[in-house]
Chain A
């Protein structure tokens, strides 16, 4: 039982990381109907920036917001330079462009920072605390708390501010928004910037658990895909719930299903993706799509 609770809590912590990255995917999906395959690599790059800042002697709590600002600016620039020219292109083109972006960022990180793994500091100690009879590390609790804060902030921004309303309007009905004076294209760039910053949080949280190298997010992005698909890819709440479910499921499957074990946990994510897409393509919280023929 104790082991079970521990698995659940550490699953929730992993889930929080997946949820942040899935949330980033959802932000871009909502803005332009595209799953950004480069999201993980963008987060990895931001984590390297944070690492460099901390390495230069900056305190963690100064480096973190600074990194998020840089990630935001980077996201906006990427949208302006790379996505803008193909904004109205078919989905296939967009997917290929974001894959190119992912490869490019991965290679650039390898070029600038090398492929040797690095230890990334965490502000939370790995010391365990007794919680309901199970031992849970402060780091896991810290990750869960950070994810919760990010989610609340994004929710507040989208639902409670004029800017959030404008962004949602631009995504929902571009033509009408443009007539009302919304600069739709810039809203897209803003969405990319926001997604980039949210994704960066997931990278910074996961790096202390794993080690930092250019392939940091290659598996995390799969879990984030699974989370986004499970939650319904246009629902921010779905991304969070999906992330938590994926985190816990993968953890439990790894521990209790002998066939899965440690090395097929990724296959669980694949199974979730395929099962959801075939059985309930809109996910848990997604709207059913209606197509005019």
Chain B
């Protein structure tokens, strides 16, 4: 008991932060409306996809501007399985993830031959072509019209639990789906956290920073690079499946170039090579535009015309400016800013004590 207490007291602040965040996300639907929960479902879905993209871009140093296409694979897999084969929607999520993972793994093989620049170019082209590629097999994908599925009903145990917590409120399918997404997001973030702290994560970082040195230390470069692609695509596939399920429909134009770019923006803004980054990035890229759009629309003194322009052009202008500013001034994104600010404060506060003991700070990457 005593030891447990000691460990608890010496836990680094980030553990407490994780706890606070987890409580926030689990409790959220009980205090906001069902519609707002569905918005947060989207944020979490994009956080999952961005986490996958971060494993690829941040940790393995390969770039993909075509993750929207991988999301499309996941979304269509899930929706087609439900629509045509009437498979339970919860079962289709891992199937979609695994299938997309295989697709990503296969994409990773030609990607090995390409430099970062050419990889960016090819995946950019893929992102642009995706909607028209989806439209072609009409029998399978429903063409331009897309495919529709019914919203899943919450199971009885979830209804009971939700009613007990909120004092009798009836759980909507949006709220149920929010919880499905929260659980999946937690599992996937936990998995990513373990992945990057252990052997594969170290190997990926070594490859990213100095490929030749990594190869001469016996790291299987091709294996790890394609593995990163596969895992990243797995996340995109899961996210895509959830995206299709929560929208209740999939269209070719749900996966435009702008989606792929927004995912990259989220990755960079949140912070490359960071576990908290994707969550911050997801909130930033997918929640803030919705909320700011609603805010502008709700202000009577802003003329409707300007509000419409703001809604159309606002995100593009902000994303573009932020991408440039962050790459120039804060390459580690928001999370990088916060951690370096925190480290700065700690140094400031601890400096006199440290001077006496001469203890060096442990390197957070090697812990």
Determine if chain A interacts with chain B: yes
Contacts from A to B (Cβ < 8 Å): 33-35, 37, 82, 85-86, 89-93, 95-97, 99-108, 110-111, 114-115, 218-219, 222, 225-226, 229, 263-264, 266-267, 269-270, 273-274, 277-278, 281, 293
Apart from A82-B328, A111-B313, A273-B121, 11 more pairs, CB < 8 Å: A35-B117, A82-B324, A92-B61, A102-B320, A103-B317, A103-B319, A104-B316, A218-B257, A274-B110, A274-B122, A277-B110
Q: Which of B124, B135, B312, B319 has the most CB of A within 10 A?
A: B124
Q: Does B102 contact A (CB under 8 A)?
A: no
Indicate whether A101 sits within 8 Å of B309 (C-beta atoms), given known contacts A93-B327, A222-B129. no
| Cβ proximity bits B228-266 to A, threshold 8 Å, 1 near / 0 not | 000000000000000000000000000001000100110
CA distance A263 to B128 in the complex (A): 12
Contact among A108, A110, A277 with B114 in the assembled complex (CB-CB below 8 Å): A277
What string of 1s and 0s marks CB contacts (under 8 Å) between B306-317 and chain A? Answer: 000100111111
Interface code B176-193, partner A: CB below 8 Å = 1, 0 otherwise? 000000000000000000
Given known A86-B327, A267-B129, contact A99–B113 (CB-CB < 8 A): no
Task: Chain B residues near A93: list those with CB within 8 A.
Answer: 327, 331
User: Is A96's CB under 8 angstroms from B323's CB?
Assistant: yes
B321 within 8 A of A: yes
* 25 residue pairs bridging A and B, Cβ less than 8 Å apart: A82-B328, A85-B328, A86-B327, A90-B116, A93-B327, A93-B331, A95-B63, A100-B265, A100-B327, A101-B324, A103-B265, A104-B323, A106-B320, A107-B318, A229-B118, A264-B132, A264-B133, A266-B132, A270-B122, A270-B129, A273-B121, A273-B122, A277-B114, A277-B122, A278-B110
Q: Which residues of B contact A (CB under 8 A)?
A: 57, 61, 63, 65, 110, 113-118, 120-122, 124-126, 128-129, 132-133, 135-136, 212, 257, 261, 264-265, 268, 309, 312-324, 327-328, 331
Partner of B314, one of A97, A100, A107, A281: A107
- B324: chain A residues at CB < 8 Å are 82, 97, 100-101, 104
Given A91-B115, A100-B320, is A264 in contact with B136 using a C-beta cutoff of 8 Å?
Answer: yes
* Contact between chains at A91 and B316 (CB < 8 Å): no
Q: Are A266 and B129 in contact (CB under 8 A)?
A: yes
Q: Report the Cα distance A218→B264, complex, angstroms.
A: 18
Q: Which of A86, A103, A115, A274 contacts B328 (CB 8 A)?
A: A86
Min C-beta distance of A290 to chain B, whole Å:
14
Chain B nearest CB from A242 CB (Å) reads 13
Whether A99 contacts B317 by the Cβ 8 Å rule is no
Cβ–Cβ contact A110 & B120, under 8 A:
no
CA distance A264 to B120 in the complex (A): 21
Quote the shortest CB–CB distance from B305 to chain A (angstroms): 10
Residue on B with the closest CB to A289? B115
Instruction: Please tell me which one of the listed residues A90, A114, A267, A293 contacts residue B212 in the complex, with CB atoms under 8 A apart.
Output: A293
Contacts of A37 in B (CB 8 A): 120, 124
Q: Which residues of B contact A102 (CB under 8 A)?
A: 320
Separation in Å of the A85 CB from the closest CB of chain B?
5
Q: How far is the CB of A93 from chain B (nearest CB, A)?
A: 5
**Nearest CB of A to B127, in Å:** 10
Whether A110 contacts B313 by the Cβ 8 Å rule is yes
Residue in B122, B264, B317 whose beta carbon sits within 8 Å of that of A108 in the complex: B317
The distance from the CB of B270 to the nearest CB of chain A, in whole angstroms, is 13
Interchain CB contact under 8 A, A91 and B116: yes
Tell whether, in the assembled complex, residue A107 and residue B323 are in contact, meaning their CB atoms are under 8 Å apart: no
User: Which of chain A's residues has its CB closest to B136's CB?
Assistant: A264
Contacts of B113 in A (CB 8 A): 277-278, 281
Enumerate chain B residues within 8 angstroms of A270, measured Cβ to Cβ.
122, 125-126, 128-129
